[in-house]
Amino acid sequence: MAKRKGGAADAAGDGNALGRKEYEAALADLHVELVHLQDWVKATGAKICIVFEGRDGAGKGGTIKALTERVSPRVFRVVALPAPTEREKSQMYMQRYIPYLPAAGEVVIFDRSWYNRAGVERVMGFADDSQVDIFLRAVPLIERAIVGSNVRLLKYWLEVSPEEQTRRLEQRIKDGRKTWKLTDMDLKSYSRWYDYSRARDAMFEASDTEFAPWHVVRSDNKRRARLNIIRHLLDTVPYERIARKKITLPARQKAGGYRAPDYPYRYIPERF
C-alpha cells in the first residue's frame, strides 16, 4: 500500500446490507480455502503472522472468530496478551511479543499487538512521548528482521466510523452477552476519537513500509469486512492445494460379546 500523507479517512464503509444467507455461503467457501491454506502451511513449514488493529468496536474479535472457527487451533494460534506484568514493564518493549511469533507450520494472529504502544498506551498516557518515539523508530527495523526470517507479516487496520462505533458500544451496554467486551478503558478511550486519529496517523507514517504495509479495511459493515479480509489473506499468501488421500471410514469391530452395563449414568436434564 502506498504511503498516505493524509492518513486513513475517519469515515468508513457505506453500510450496504449483506444478507445472512449470502454471507454464510461466501464464508463457507472461504473456510474451505482456509483449510487448504492450513494444509499448505503444515506441509511447507510456512510462517504467517497476522496483526489486527483498530479502535474499540472496529470488529477485530468477530473477524478473528470468522477466520479461525473452521481451522485447527494448533495451526492458527490467537494471541491476545493481557496488561504487562511489572517484570514485563521493565523489559525491552518488544520482548514480550517475540516468543509468540510463529514457528514453522504456524499461523499466529495477534488480537492487538506491539502496536499498543503507538495506540492505546500513547493516548491513555501509559507511555510517554520518548517511549513512543523510540518505538516508532524501532518498529520498521524489527519488522524487517521478522520478515527477513521468512515470516509473512500481514497487518490489518479496521477503520470504523464514529457513528458506527457509537452504535456498537451502545449495543454492548444493552446486550448481556456483550457487556464483558466493554471495559472502563474502553469508556475512557471512547471520548478521545481524535487523539486516536492522530496516533493512528503517526503510526502509519512510521510503519507503513513496502516490506510490511498496513492494509486498511472499512469495517462499518462487519460481514463484508470479514469476507474481504479473509479473501485478501488468501489472495496474498501464495498457497497451493495439497493433495489428500481419499478418506473412507473403516468398518467398526463386532460386539464380541459386549453388553451395555446396567449403570445409573448421570444424564443432564434435557430442557431443550
State yes or no: pLDDT of 141 exceeds 90. yes
Average pLDDT over residues 132-144: 98
Of residues 154, 179, 152, the one with CA closest to residue 168: 179
- pLDDT digits over 170-181, tens only? 999 898 888 888
What is the residue whose three cell numbers read 494448533?
Answer: 74
Q: 154 in helix, strand or coil? A: strand
Q: How many Å apart are CA 46 and CA 103, to the nearest integer?
A: 8
State yes or no: pLDDT of 12 exceeds 90. no
Q: Which long-range contacts (CB under 8 A, 24 or more apart) does 137-146 make?
A: 137/206, 138/94, 139/114, 139/115, 139/206, 139/207, 140/206, 140/207, 140/209, 140/212, 142/94, 142/114, 143/207, 143/209, 143/211, 143/212, 144/209, 144/211, 144/212, 146/49, 146/101, 146/212
- pLDDT digits over 226-250, tens only? 999 999 999 999 999 999 889 999 9
| Cell representation of residue 107 | 499461523
State yes or no: pLDDT of 106 exceeds 50. yes
CB atoms within 10 A of CB 153: 18
Model confidence, pTM: 0.89
- Among 8-12, 53-57, 63-67, 210-214, name the one with the lowest average pLDDT: 8-12
Average pLDDT over residues 30-56: 97
| Cell representation of residue 101 | 511469533
19 Cβ contact partners less than 8 Å away, ≥ 6 residues apart: none
40 Cβ contact partners less than 8 Å away, ≥ 6 residues apart: 46, 239, 240, 241, 242
| Cell representation of residue 89 | 514493564
Write the class of the CATH domain 20-236.
alpha beta
pLDDT band at 2 (very low <50, low <70, confident <90, very high): very low
Helices (H) and strands (E) in the chain, counts: 9, 5
- pLDDT digits over 19-29, tens only? 999 999 999 99
Q: How many Å apart are CA 82 and CA 88, to the nearest integer?
A: 11
State yes or no: pLDDT of 10 exceeds 60. no
Better-scored residue on pLDDT, 9 or 90: 90
Average pLDDT over residues 188-200: 93
Contact between 139 and 207 under an 8 Å Cβ cutoff? The reply is yes
197 Cβ contact partners less than 8 Å away, ≥ 6 residues apart: 7, 10
CB atoms within 10 A of CB 227: 20
pLDDT on residue 179:
85
pLDDT on residue 3:
44
Neighbour-count burial for 42-55, b at 16+ CB within 10 Å, e otherwise: beeebbbbbbbbbb
pLDDT band at 5 (very low <50, low <70, confident <90, very high): very low
pLDDT on residue 182:
81
pLDDT on residue 63:
98
| Cell representation of residue 172 | 454492548
Q: How many Å apart are CA 180 and CA 38, to the nearest integer?
A: 31
